[in-house]
Structure 1
Amino acid sequence: MIRVLIAEDQAIVRNGLKMIIEQDEDIQVVAEAENGKAVLALLEKTIVDIVLMDIRMPIMDGMEATKRIRQQFPQIKILILTTFNDEEYALQAFQEGANGFLLKTTESFTLVNSIKSCLSGGISIHDQVAAKLMPKLLKKETNHEKALKDNEIVPLTKREIEIVKSIGQGKTNKEISRELLLSVGTIKNHITQILSKLELRDRTQLAIYAVRNDYI
């Protein structure tokens, strides 16, 4: 069972989200909060797999809450769900450690699938936001990639290249493990080694690296 905490300051929206996601028998809303401070307090005493996080909330907003969750509860996934179609918000959210960024106009089935994807190691970005965000992320990678080229291409093994290609295609660790006939733990170890070799911070940067370097 996937245990969800909904962080949203409007009760009517919380209720609607709960009704939508609990239509899937594998998902249960175990807690609700109307601000980031309440989220952190609930996480101290509630077992949660993923937080659906609004950005604009009183007392403590979603960005600050995301940052603190990543510091205090690194195992918990965070899916931003907001009305703001703004690439700067999305960029900041991923920098703070979010695993996905969706708009509240998202279809119900997409929301449910995104929850499951985030828990499997995937990254979910609303199409409209991605169209604005990707050019900025690609631009941010330019200097880093130039430095790599100046110091010669970092050697990756055949297996590592296969994993980089899969991540660039948006596949989860579970999907990659099935394709390569390896355990999820082995895939995670490979990804950690790849990130270290390429001097990249996270899976998002690795996906961008795959695109920029024609791995897909």
Structure 2
Amino acid sequence: MSDSAPSAGPFAGFPEAALDFYDDLELDNTKSFWAEHRHVWESAVRDPMRALAAALAEEFGEARIYRPYRDVRFAKDKTPYKTHQGAFVSVAPRTGWYVQIGAAGVRTSAGFYDADAEQLHRFRSAVDDDIRGPELARLVAHLEGTGWKRVGDRLKTTPRGYAADHPRIDLLRHRSLSVDRHHGFAPYIHTAELADKVRADWREARELVEWLGRL
């Protein structure tokens, strides 16, 4: 679920209070803590994230700002609140750009984050293709070479129907594929400059997102 309310004003960065809030929430993830500190989340996390999303919307599209509550129905971990706040711009099912703030600071991401059986089949068919597959391999290698980290759920074994010595077997093992860049606690996360950093990251990952969006 998401929070699509309008932003609270121009983006000016995330205050130190946002990091302090998530540090404290990791230690006391309870409804009583949330009730006492909800105003901090609203002013230091929610409103700046809305403003950041608004600053990026003209170029990338409207972001879905996730609600802070965890879905604990089938989880062993019953803590009620997420220890980070994310916003996601979708360009295709489960595919797009992402930004997050939490106790570990700020990170950006781009890629596809989940796949049903049909989408996974299309992804692997494209990776196997002698034209599209090498194109993806080059895109991922370029991003890794410029400081992005490749992440995603992947098989430890060889996907059914593909040879273990396939030239792109590492990509074929992916069931989700994205790249992350961590900004951590860099001083600019507390300033309007962060919007420029996120914008630059998303532009850098645009070709990957577009490749995945064509599946």
Which bracket does the TM-score occupy, shorter chain normalised? 0.3 to 0.5
Structure having the larger proportion of residues in strand: 2
Larger Rg: 2
Structure having the larger proportion of residues in helix: 1
Query: Looking at both structures, which has the greater relative contact order when contacts are Cα pairs under 8 Å and sequence separation is at least 6?
Result: 2
Length-normalised TM-score, structure 2: 0.36
